[in-house]
Structure 1
Amino acid sequence: MTSTSTAAQRAGRHAGPAWLILSLACACQFMVILDASIVNVALPSIRLDLGFTPTGLARVVNGYLLTFAGFMLLGGRAADLFGHRRILIAGMFSFSASSLVAGMSSAPEVLVAARVVQGMGAAMLAPATLVVLNTYFTEEKARARAFGMWAASGGVGGMAGAVVGGALTTGLSWRWVFLINVPIGAVLIVVAMIALAGGRAVRREPLDLVGAVTGTVGLAALIYGVMHSADHGWASAPVVGPVVAGLVLLVVFIVVEARFAAHPMMPLRLFTIRGVAVGNAMLMLFGGIAIAMWYFTSLFLQNVLGFSALDAGLGQTPAAVTFLVVARWAAALLPRTGVRPLMLAGCGCFLAGFGWLAQAHADSGYVTSVLGPTLLVAVGIGLTFPTLMAAATADAPEGDAGIIGGLANTASQVGGSIGLAVLATAAGARAAAETDADSPAALAAGYDLVFLIAAGLGLAIAAVSALLPHSGEESGAGPAPAR
């Protein structure tokens, strides 16, 4: 990769080899994304063992996702203020300790509380890993390859959830879905202490407490409301109340950051960097594409073709492997091609793949109607996701790398949450228009509409990519120029 000596000298002590640092960042990203989905297969066993109500069971999933997305900006700024090494280690400790509590839970309330804390730990880890990449991989090609590996590890983590969760739940117990994090987390803490250059923060300034509270609570409230839209309807009080409250708090957050904060948690000047602004807009759109690919394709396999949850996970494995290979290849191309050609090629794959997938129906075969198009979409995701993360974090000032990383992760998570709510509503409405709304044919019609919308999101990303800066327009500190 590249030497870590410059970063080590700046931090005041020797850093470990580049391969170890990259492995650490990728493993952390894999874990936090894996835990967003690994629990899904275990939910029936958890309900029987702990006595969850059907409504309460959703909190096991949402408790993690809510705090993960809501606290990401705060986690990113903390990495800037207190140092990426401290925040990564603290986040992994919190993540692992709460996993232990979750695995040992004897009551529903304990498990939900542990998942909330686990999400907070993940919100510290995810932006800290991006700071690690930006700090230790400064040479253009090495940084591009590092971003490709990081993006691939997160994507595979999301895809592997059903397979790993099903294997652990079936072979051992649902508790091992959480307990497996404890020994892995302990190893990663030791690796972080050895590999990462130590300790001092990039900035010496107080944390913007008003911005932290309004931004974090506002994001969490907005995402909470959106999450409940599929169950309660967009006009219901459980949706409108949190969404309005979240939007109001986010407006207050912006006003505080712009006019009153001496040391803003998220300096609005960062949005004057065109790559940051445009890259995050594309990441929000991309969140809907990722949901359509992994979540709704899994539902199609289970609810229309009759696959089990574990079989559905295995059925998506070829796409996950394709994504991993293509993401690494795209990262190697990125310094030579720039952002825009890879983005346009990926969006072309989205249009073709989702258009093909939208032709699937209840009598379709897996190979011709699902495997083929999902492989094509996976190529598109592999081309675009590491490219998007590179564009959204390019030209980041050194002292703001954490908050920019947190912003990029937040954009993707918020886009995924809103995408899930909108697409689930569209699928439900389309299925309800059929004679038998619960039949495989009706459900297939709903999922086909989702895939067509996803193709449209691909076109939207291609259009927005035209706003990316051309080579030389910005400072050029990022992984690759947009051409």
Structure 2
Amino acid sequence: MTTLDHVRPAPAPVRMTGRQRLLLVLLLGAQFTLAVDFSILGVALPVIGGGLGFSLAHLQWIVTAFALSAAGFTLLFGRVADLFGRRRLFLAGMALLGLSSLAGGLATSPSVLLAARVAQGLATAAVTPAGLALLTTSFPEGPLRARALGLNGALMSAGFTSGAILGGLLTDLLSWRWAFFVNVPVALAVLVAAPFLIAESRPARRARLDAPGAVTVTVGLLALVYGLTAAGERGWTSPVALGSLALGAVMLVAFWFVETRAAAPLVPVRILRRPTVVWGNLAGLIAFLTETSLVFLMTLYLQKVLGYSALATGLAFGVLGAGTVVGGVAGARVVGRLGTRVSLVTGFAIQATATLALVALGDDRGWLPLLLVATFVGGVGNMVAIVAFMITATGGLPDEEQGLATGLATMTQQVGITMGIPVMSAVVTARMAGQGVTVLDAVATATAANAAVVLAGAVLAALLLPRGRA
């Protein structure tokens, strides 16, 4: 037996060091705060409109301004993090989040508030991929990274679902302004602690930023997100919606051709051809699209059919948030035992079954237990799928490309969140156009469509994703 026979790769560590635990708490706290910002103002929109003089037609821009900048610049900032330093971009983004949140809380006019929301979206676009890249590069590929990504996914999903609860409580007990102010101490705490826990990471030789690629993908994503938002507000036949979606499609196709010819592409085409990146991100898109739009559908059911208040509705979604936490904590173990593909299929199958059960909901409050149980179980399945998606989409790539991989995954998440409500709103609207159709009937139809999309995700994952284990 030769010496080489004894050489084996060192096993991946399975226990976190004390420093890694502190780093994880810091990064997860930042990501949770950003996830809360997606939904914290939803309940408070009418109050904000009355306080600052927003017209009813312009209220949606409080949400749209954030979504546009958050989704449109994520991929660009993910690559900037790789080239110029992830810690540097992470800290700059947290500083911008703190300043923009303070400005939003102090706003006395619609223009200042909207500018603050744009800045919050830019901060999210910078911090989310940089923070995820710091997380994936701080934990080696294997059980530790899977566990960290599972906790990250759980807290992000819980942040999104609990944002409505927190927004309602802050608005009722204090003021809508505290929905902004709550970010300031979190940003300050992160800015103080991060330099002691996070090491800088950037390449020894800095490549040039692909300006044509950056322009085409950013304009394409902005147009796509704006088109989806416009479709939700004005209908899918609206010239504004169709024109924006068409422009987005053209620019994203142009981006592909730019990248095939660029000397230092923003997104190397070889990465976009990896099955794990392509089909993993498609699965992630389906996971975020379906769960966030299900929250919208169940909000309609709870408020329009059962007559619950906005605050009571937000509290009901706390059960869904608990399910996502359970799924996130268990997700790493599930992936470690079953592999990423089987975990994705299993998570989607659980989510689809639970969502389909919601089609049976009736028009009295006796059906509330079914809603709570089904959303909890569906949340568990959805989060297992999201953990598997994150591991699939970021696995097998070198550390110097983790910002790009997490930027793609974050872009997928934010576009999915933006797409879900307009798509399911269109189904509800189309169903309501029929004579004698109630809100309950329309919600049931859209919920069945939601379950069908999840089931399609399970089938695609089973057929197209390569076998893999965490």
Give the TM-score band, short-chain normalised: over 0.9
Summarize the alignment of residues 192-207 of structure 1 with structure 2, pairs less than 5 Å apart. Answer: 192-198=194-200, 200-201=202-203, 204-207=206-209
CA spacing shift, 1:201–1:32, aligned 2, 3 Å: farther
Question: 1 CA distance for matches of 2:204 and 2:221?
Answer: 26
* Offset of residue 398 of structure 1: 1.9
Q: Secondary structure at the match of 1:126?
A: helix
| Residues 2 and 137 in structure 1, CA contact (< 8 A), matched pair in contact too | no
List per-residue Cα deviations over 1:272-322 (Å, max 9, x = no partner).
Answer: 322111101111222221123322212211121111111111111122112
Q: Secondary structure at the match of 1:341?
A: helix
1:470 to 455, 467, 470: 467
- Corresponding position of 2:210: 208
Q: Secondary structure at the match of 1:365?
A: helix
List per-residue Cα deviations over 1:154-177 (Å, max 9, x = no partner).
Answer: 011001111111111111111110
Question: 1 CA distance for matches of 2:45 and 2:205?
Answer: 43
* Offset of residue 2 of structure 1: 6.3
* Offset of residue 149 of structure 1: 0.4
Q: Does 1:460 find its partner at 2:456? A: yes
List per-residue Cα deviations over 1:159-202 (Å, max 9, x = no partner).
Answer: 11111111111111111100111111010111211110135446
- Corresponding position of 1:311: 312
- Corresponding position of 1:357: 358
TM-score (norm 1): 0.91
- Corresponding position of 2:383: 382
5+ residue gaps in structure 2? 1-12
- Corresponding position of 2:3: none
| Residues 361 and 445 in structure 1, CA contact (< 8 A), matched pair in contact too | no
Question: 2 CA distance for matches of 1:202 and 1:428?
Answer: 54
Question: 2 CA distance for matches of 1:171 and 1:358?
Answer: 35
* CA RMSD of superposed structures (Å): 1.8
| Residues 40 and 164 in structure 2, CA contact (< 8 A), matched pair in contact too | yes
* Offset of residue 85 of structure 1: 0.5
Amino acid at match of 2:138: Y
1:241 to 240, 243, 253: 243
1:75 to 71, 74, 77: 77
Question: 2 CA distance for matches of 1:242 and 1:434?
Answer: 32
Q: Does 1:346 find its partner at 2:347? A: yes
| Residues 4 and 136 in structure 1, CA contact (< 8 A), matched pair in contact too | no
* Offset of residue 366 of structure 1: 4.0
What is the percent sequence identity of the aligned residues?
37
CA spacing shift, 1:249–1:369, aligned 2, 3 Å: same
- Corresponding position of 1:102: 104
| Residues 292 and 450 in structure 1, CA contact (< 8 A), matched pair in contact too | no
* Offset of residue 340 of structure 1: 2.4
Q: Does 1:445 find its partner at 2:445? A: no
| Residues 66 and 117 in structure 2, CA contact (< 8 A), matched pair in contact too | yes
TM-score (norm 2): 0.93
| Residues 334 and 384 in structure 2, CA contact (< 8 A), matched pair in contact too | no
Q: Secondary structure at the match of 2:97?
A: helix
Question: 1 CA distance for matches of 2:181 and 2:93?
Answer: 17
The more displaced of 341-350 and 88-97 is: 341-350
Amino acid at match of 1:470: R
CA spacing shift, 1:203–1:374, aligned 2, 3 Å: farther
- Corresponding position of 2:10: none
Amino acid at match of 1:37: S
The more displaced of 359-368 and 183-192 is: 359-368
Question: 1 CA distance for matches of 2:435 and 2:411?
Answer: 37
Summarize the alignment of residues 51-450 of structure 1 with structure 2, pairs less than 5 Å apart. Answer: 51-198=53-200, 200-201=202-203, 204-259=206-261, 261-435=262-436, 442-450=438-446
2:27 to 6, 25, 28: 25
Amino acid at match of 2:447: F
Question: What is the total number of aligned residue pairs between the two structures?
Answer: 457
Question: 2 CA distance for matches of 1:375 and 1:119?
Answer: 29
Q: Secondary structure at the match of 1:323?
A: helix
List per-residue Cα deviations over 1:423-457 (Å, max 9, x = no partner).
Answer: 1100111122143x6xxxx1111111121111111
- Corresponding position of 1:9: none
5+ residue gaps in structure 1? 6-15, 472-479
* Offset of residue 397 of structure 1: 2.3
Amino acid at match of 1:273: R
* Offset of residue 365 of structure 1: 2.2
* Offset of residue 44 of structure 1: 1.4
- Corresponding position of 1:34: 36
CA spacing shift, 1:421–1:324, aligned 2, 3 Å: same
Which ranges of 4 or more aligned residues in structure 1 deviate by more than 6 Å? Answer: 1-5
- Corresponding position of 1:13: none
Q: Secondary structure at the match of 1:17?
A: helix
* Offset of residue 363 of structure 1: 2.5
List per-residue Cα deviations over 1:364-415 (Å, max 9, x = no partner).
Answer: 5243431121122112112211111111111122221111111111112223
* Offset of residue 335 of structure 1: 1.9
